[in-house]
Amino acid sequence: MIPIALTIAGSDSGGGAGIQADLKTFSALGAYGASVLTALTAQNTRGVQAIHDVPPDFVAAQMDSVFGDLRVGATKIGMLSRPETIAAVAGGLVRHGARHVVLDPVMVATSGDRLIAEDAVAILRERLLPLCDCLTPNLPEAAILLGEPAAADEEAMAAQGRRLLALGARSVLMKGGHADGPESVDVLVERDRTTRLPARRIATRNTHGTGCTLSAALAAGLAGGMTLRQAAEAAKAYLGGALAAADTLAIGGGRGPVHHFFALWPPRGPDAPPLG
């Protein structure tokens, strides 16, 4: 039976992040994707021009529809911009006994645009962290959740991960893409161990949707029966491939998307022009 993964997140009208990136990732990794929209964004590779929030009761109705019919193996949560939406999602997770919940605390877009209200951070920390099986913050997001400066090295990343565990998360995947150096190192922090996940840092400006993609890939792996560590390693490898192929796309005039279907689309020769 095909694994089913659910994304609860905002829509990116440019197609590179949010719901669209999550569904592409699920499909690329062999999972059936369902979705609950929390917000609509007018967005492209250059930035976010407008945000329209979905009413919280309609967010809850979408969750009831999906969980009431589909056997959801994992749930990835992305953009939740308002306290009322966070409360609605938390209530739905409890109501339906959601399994393998991956929380990507989306706060700032790649373009730098703020995606969450200030008063929503506290309720996200209080209501959702205790419900998530894996929290996947980047370094600025972890700093916002903890109210402290961003981690500057791997030791600090692990220490912040442990402090996030103390807030209720069952595990934390600290994403190191914002750090410097030839390697991009993520740190998976669990109750009983810490795992270093290194990868070669890829030089590309096409990084739109990287956080969404990694978290969705993690959820796809969990839905397919992988352990958390296996899913994290597979997600890291998938994102590396999508980043390495990102420059074969030519989407928009700003920070373009990663190539979600790099392993599925026909290969292109070195002299072929970029797609787009």
Q: What is the pLDDT of residues 146-203, one digit of tens each?
A: 999 999 999 999 999 999 999 999 999 999 866 566 788 999 999 999 999 998 989 8
Question: Looking at the domain assignment, is residue 232 inside a domain?
Answer: yes
Question: Looking at the domain assignment, is residue 62 inside a domain?
Answer: yes
CB-CB contact of 107 with 144 (8 Å): yes
Residue 171's pLDDT is 98
Question: Looking at the domain assignment, is residue 262 inside a domain?
Answer: no
Question: Looking at the domain assignment, is residue 270 inside a domain?
Answer: no
Kindly name the residue from 211, 221, 224, 256 that is annotated as catalytic: 211
Domain containing residue 84: 4-248
Kindly name the residue from 16, 209, 221, 256 that is annotated as catalytic: 209
CB-CB contact of 28 with 234 (8 Å): no
CATH number at residue 73: 3.40.1190.20
Exposure string (b/e) for 212-234, b if CB count within 10 Å is 16 or more?
bbbbbbbbbbbbbebebeebbbb
Q: Is 209 a catalytic residue?
A: yes
Under 8 Å CB-to-CB from 186, ≥6 apart: which residues? 173, 174, 175, 176, 197, 199, 232, 236
Count of domains observed in the chain: 1
Low-confidence ranges of the chain (pLDDT < 70): 108-115, 177-181, 268-276
Question: Looking at the domain assignment, is residue 177 inside a domain?
Answer: yes
Residue 54's pLDDT is 97
Under 8 Å CB-to-CB from 97, ≥6 apart: which residues? none
Q: Is 211 a catalytic residue?
A: yes
Q: Of 40, 56, 22, give the one whose Cα is nearest residue 235.
A: 22
Residue 14's pLDDT is 96
Q: Is 210 a catalytic residue?
A: yes
Kindly name the residue from 212, 221, 236, 240 that is annotated as catalytic: 212
Question: Looking at the domain assignment, is residue 255 inside a domain?
Answer: no
CB-CB contact of 16 with 256 (8 Å): yes
Question: Looking at the domain assignment, is residue 194 inside a domain?
Answer: yes
Kindly name the residue from 18, 45, 76, 175 that is annotated as catalytic: 175
Kindly name the residue from 7, 45, 136, 207 that is annotated as catalytic: 207
Question: Looking at the domain assignment, is residue 181 inside a domain?
Answer: yes
Residue 117's pLDDT is 72
